[in-house]
Amino acid sequence: MTIPREMTHPPLLRRWTKTGPVKPRLALLVNPFYPKDPNASFGKHVLTPTLALTSIAAATPAHWEIRYWDENLLDGRPPYDPLPAVVGITVHLTFAKRAYALAEWYRRRGSKVVLGGLHVQSCPEECAPHADALAIGDGVQLWPRILADVEAGCLRTRYVAGYTGDFRDEPAPRRSILPRRSFLTTASLMATRGCHNRCGFCYLATEGLRMPYRMRDPEQVAAEFILDRQPYGVFIDNNLGSDREYLRRLCRTLEPLKKIWSAAVTIDVTDDPALVRSMALAGCTGVFVGFESLTDANL
């Protein structure tokens, strides 16, 4: 079987490509390419859009133009005519090298590049040489400050924020920037942040990371689900069942919507059969459960 190159190799970033002029107050948000498993369904790579970038977009000041580009939709390299004044790139370990390559390509042509995401938070010293600025921590808090400093010509190299704000006060993700037909559903949802557990395999156990458990009102979550007009949603919470009483309230709020959804939980949710039934009645059609291998032999 011949595997299409675009599944395993990122779009070429040619050095001699002619670009348009830098357009002030234009920001481009990029989700970098990562190689696809040739033995797996491509659908899992385009199940839902990154909630990080749509949340950042929601925090963008109204006088800035915002664009979104996900290289994993296989539509080619990110746009460059006109050249964005600011390029925001989310960085995970899986595609860190691609993120650095994109950053270098745009910086050489005059864009200011801001890197954020889990890998930046875990390894800022590694990421720093590849960016004009790092966003470490809650990007929704930092993004407006970064853009204001770009406009004022005083961009700093590092911006840091904790996760102490009220989750209820954050704007809903800006899904209008998404190519809706490119995903199985654009309704990626988040009701809670953090988890009461600190499992060794989870990024929440990263040394120095302080992420308190925070919840949004169930009515806010339901309103987002309705507004996106999708029949199926995916909760990307670290552990939607971390607070069982909250999950009960959320289920009661979602049940009248007659929509279906899935979420990540820990296996101990099954200790409460009544809660599992509430999830099913509310439209839950499946859960993702992580198991930690206690010995290498289990692998």
Q: What residue spans define the domains of the chain?
A: 5-161, 187-289
CA–CA separation, 146 vs 135, rounded Å? Answer: 9
CA atoms within 13 A on the CB side of 18: 0
CA torsion sign for 229, 66, 235, 41 is positive
CB 55 within 8 A of CB 173: yes
Q: Could you say which of 1.10.150, 3.40.50, 2.40.160, 3.20.14 is the CATH number of the domain covering 5-161? A: 3.40.50
Report how far Cα 251 is from the mean position of its chain's Cα atoms: 24
Peptide bond into 38 cis (omega under 30): no
CA–CA separation, 134 vs 155, rounded Å? Answer: 10
Ranges of H-type helices in the chain: 5-8, 51-58, 96-108, 118-122, 124-127, 139-152, 218-227, 244-254, 273-281
- Strands of 260-265's sheet, edge to edge? 188-189, 232-235, 260-265, 284-289
SS (H, E, C) 30-99: EECCCCCCCCCCHHHHHCCCCHHHHHHHHCCCCCCEEEEEEHHHCCCCCCCCCEEEEEEEECCHHHHHHH
pLDDT value at position 2?
59
State both tokens at 234. 């995916």
* Block residue for tokens 């069942």: 241
Q: From the DSSP assignment, how many helices (H) and strands (E) are in the chain? A: 9, 12
pTM of this prediction exceeds 0.85 = yes
Q: What crossing angle do the helices spanning 139-152 and 51-58 adopt, rounded to 10°?
A: 50
pLDDT in tens, the chain (299 residues): 556 778 888 999 998 888 989 999 999 999 999 988 777 666 666 789 989 999 999 999 999 999 999 999 989 999 999 999 999 999 999 999 999 999 999 999 999 999 999 899 989 999 999 999 999 999 999 999 999 999 999 999 999 998 888 889 999 999 999 999 999 999 999 999 988 887 777 777 677 667 789 999 999 999 999 999 999 999 999 999 999 999 999 999 999 999 999 999 999 899 999 999 999 999 999 999 877 677 777 76
CA–CA separation, 52 vs 84, rounded Å? Answer: 19
